[in-house]
Amino acid sequence: MNNHFGNLFLLSYRGFKQFKSSSLVASFSIAIAGGLFLSTLKVKEGAENSFTHSSGGFNAVLGARGSSLQLVLNSIFHLEASPGNLDWEEYEFIKSTRGVSEAYPIAVGDNYMGYRLVGTLSELFLEHEWKIGNKYKIEKGRIFSDSAKEALVGKFVASKLGLKIGDKFHPYHGLTFRESSKHDDIYVVVGILEATGTPADKVIWVPIKGIQHMEGHAQEYLNSVSAVLLNLKGIREPMDLYSKYNRRSNEATLVWPINKTIADFFKRLTWFEKILQWVAYMIGLMSCMLVLAILQNSINERKREFAILRCLGASRSFLVQVVMSQSIIISMLGGLGSLIIYFTTSSLSSYYIREETGVLLEPFHIDITYVFVFLSIILLGLISAILPSFSVYRVDINKNLQHAS
């Protein structure tokens, strides 16, 4: 039995080695197809799951009239520009409204070295749970005082800029860094947040009064907020609020629930995902045709060798196994390559998303999908070997030996 498998492997490997360059090209093509398919499937899935769970523990947000997606991206993920401002009285009103369990105002419009300053109240870091059962923790220092020019720095920002307790900095106007837009105000770092894997890590948190009264800001900033982060409870009261702001008012937009807006955003990307998957299918199909051609050429070149093996007692089924095994070698290399390409793509995507949003992805979460894709690649390789297997099964011993002589 061991001798059988040993001979089978040696003969299969000889065929692979005989067409080494083309076999490796086929394996690489399979790897690209499998890696692309896995990447479009798993990276999008991982990103959607991570973004859905990165809303900072809030299920609603109130902002100026405009796009719901823009409001969420601005107030939750700190990506887009603010759609506008709300009066402070609007925050006071909704905070005391029935059905609202939490309400925290935020104000944006400034940055330091490209990282956003977000003004809010210190109670956000004392009372709010950014994830069920998890309040914000201070890694070093303390929370800012609401009446002082102090900053609580997200872990990601602190690591990138090398900020530490006691450091001082000038904010810059706008959401992008420009040397010419420096404010006269000076802030001191009093605390560094423990990492959360959410957009909060990529923000410099300051008292909301600091943003409102920042030197150089227009008078309208003095009594306004960019948005109000909310937690709504129940069903009837949130629906009444939703109707009040979105259907009977032109002054504000209430996004509730936030997760639905995030899910709708990822649904908009489905068309792009489908295109990439079809590209993967086409590459996979061409790879199968290439494997078929390689195996057929290998058989044509080795007909005399196969005829001699038949004379020495090798069965037709053994020769078929040789062809199938050669296909499996090509497919296995392609399958392993597809996993390498996926993990590389996934790691790069995770790094980029973390850099841009502060959201932490978990690309190496193992599940049955990887096994399914790998086995599917092996199966496609075996299917590609069916026609060449018929050819080797019909090898004419006399004809091929006579032709060789």
Chain CA centroid to CA 268, Å: 15
For the chain, percent of residues with pLDDT exceeding 90: 40
Handedness of CA 202, 205, 208, 213 (dihedral sign): negative
The 10s digit of each residue's pLDDT in 127-170 is 999 999 999 999 999 999 999 999 999 999 999 999 999 999 99
What are the residue ranges spanned by the domains of the chain?
A: 2-52+268-404, 60-256
Q: How far apart are CA 318 and CA 316, in angstroms?
A: 5
pLDDT at 404: 46
Amino acid identity at 318: F
Structure token pair of residue 162 = 């090398």
pLDDT at 276 over 50: yes
Pick from 226, 317, 241, 318: nearest CA to 3: 318
- Mapping DSSP to helix (H, G, I), strand (E, B) and coil, where does residue 376 land? helix
According to DSSP, the residues that pair with 206 across neighbouring strands are: 119
Mean predicted lDDT score pLDDT of the chain: 86
* Helices within 66-195 (DSSP H only): 68-75, 88-95, 123-127, 155-161
Q: How far apart are CA 369 and CA 361, in angstroms?
A: 18
Handedness of CA 131, 133, 138, 139 (dihedral sign): negative
pTM value is 0.79
Q: How far apart are CA 197 and CA 367, in angstroms?
A: 22
Structure token pair of residue 398 = 């006399």
Amino acid identity at 387: L
Residues 6+ apart with CB under 8 A from 253: 62, 63, 64, 65, 66, 67, 68, 71, 83, 245, 246
Cis peptide before 83 (omega within 30 of 0): no
